[in-house]
Amino acid sequence: MREPVDFTNCRRLPGKAYNGANGKKIAVEYQGEAYMLKFPPSAAKKMNMLSYSNSCYSEHIASTIFNMAGIKAHETMLGVFYVGGKEKIVCACKDFTDNNKQLFDFCSIKNTVIDSEHGGTGTELEDLLETIEKQQYVNPKQLLEHFWDVFIMDALLGNFDRHNGNWGFLFNNTTQKAEIAPVYDCGSCLLPQADEEIMEKVLYNEEELNARVYQFPQAMIKQNGKKINYYDFLMEGAYEACNQALLRIFPRINTAQIADFIQKVPFITEQQKTFYTTYIAARYEKILMPAYRRLAQ
């Protein structure tokens, strides 16, 4: 295993800046390419029960698992950055934009559908599906498949914050054509707010584990104003495009490969490795597997 990268002395890129509430972000050049460095939340924010204290690890692990399943996500790696003599663990995300390609999030795309009564930030499912059908940037069928593929993986990884601002399109200013952007912003996967005490409960108490599989986290996407419960939604199987995504994605998920990868993730403790492996396996077996078997039969 190679040594983690120290990004402290990398050249800062002042022409790039990133929004979002989940920790500080800066742009640096590493080996001739642009990377966004995501920093862990401040100590004050960690006191909040809904903080994202492990979001850098969640970002790296979840993004890698997306790529393992054949869904293109941004490339990430964990490294260090020294601030005032203190070591910070950062997630370096390779910047997939350049001088020609500009990122438009789905919220912006949603606002271009002028015959819709709904705003860009709303995550009501029927409204999202209407936008996917009516938007004029990429092929609607291709976008619908991508939307549900990501939903299946978010169900596996327990993502509670896939809102309209953290997925979208890349628009090429030269060719005037758009493509679906790689999956990004996965820091809300894998219970990033779980501390050692919560991890202990999940690992050694079946009720605690089941609560975090069957009850929460729920999806950011809503039906009739209520957030979707991943298990209930997939077992109901009311959306054929979602069913097809499950049939397509489930066979690509290799839990043994995922477990092997997690064992090699730097910086995290043995408890964290066991927690992430157990949590993903539980969601695979308790959410995706029964829904998949129902469809396969």
CA distances from 62 to 84, 142, 258 (A): 30, 22, 10
pLDDT digits (tens, 9 = 90+) for 129-183: 998 998 888 999 999 999 999 999 999 999 999 988 899 999 998 999 999 999 9
Beta-ladder partners of 227:
222
pLDDT digits (tens, 9 = 90+) for 99-108: 789 898 888 8
pLDDT digits (tens, 9 = 90+) for 19-30: 665 668 999 999
Considering the segment(s) 5-94 as one domain, its CATH architecture is 2-Layer Sandwich (3.30)
* Token pair 């408890």 in the structure block, residue: 271
Identify whether the C-beta of residue 3 lies closer than 8 Å to the C-beta of residue 88.
no
Predicted local distance difference test score (pLDDT) of residue 53: 77
Predicted local distance difference test score (pLDDT) of residue 121: 63
Measured CA to CA, the distance from residue 51 to residue 107 in angstroms comes to 24
Identify whether the C-beta of residue 62 lies closer than 8 Å to the C-beta of residue 159.
yes
Between 231 and 119, residue with greater pLDDT? 231
Beta-ladder partners of 222:
124, 227
Beta-ladder partners of 33:
30
Predicted local distance difference test score (pLDDT) of residue 205: 96
User: In the chain, what are the domain boundaries?
Assistant: 5-94
The pLDDT > 70 percentage for the chain reads 91
Predicted local distance difference test score (pLDDT) of residue 118: 56
Predicted local distance difference test score (pLDDT) of residue 258: 98
Identify whether the C-beta of residue 101 lies closer than 8 Å to the C-beta of residue 172.
yes
The yes-or-no verdict on residue 124 having pLDDT over 50 is yes
The yes-or-no verdict on residue 264 having pLDDT over 60 is yes
Measured CA to CA, the distance from residue 29 to residue 263 in angstroms comes to 28
Identify whether the C-beta of residue 212 lies closer than 8 Å to the C-beta of residue 191.
yes
| 248: confidence class by pLDDT, cuts 50, 70, 90 | very high
| 12: confidence class by pLDDT, cuts 50, 70, 90 | very high
The yes-or-no verdict on residue 254 having pLDDT over 90 is yes
Measured CA to CA, the distance from residue 155 to residue 158 in angstroms comes to 5
Which amino acid would we find at residue 129?
L
Stretch 1-16: mean pLDDT, rounded? 86
Greatest mean pLDDT among 10-24, 50-64, 268-282 lies in 268-282
Name 32's Cβ contacts closer than 8 Å, sequence gap at least 6: none
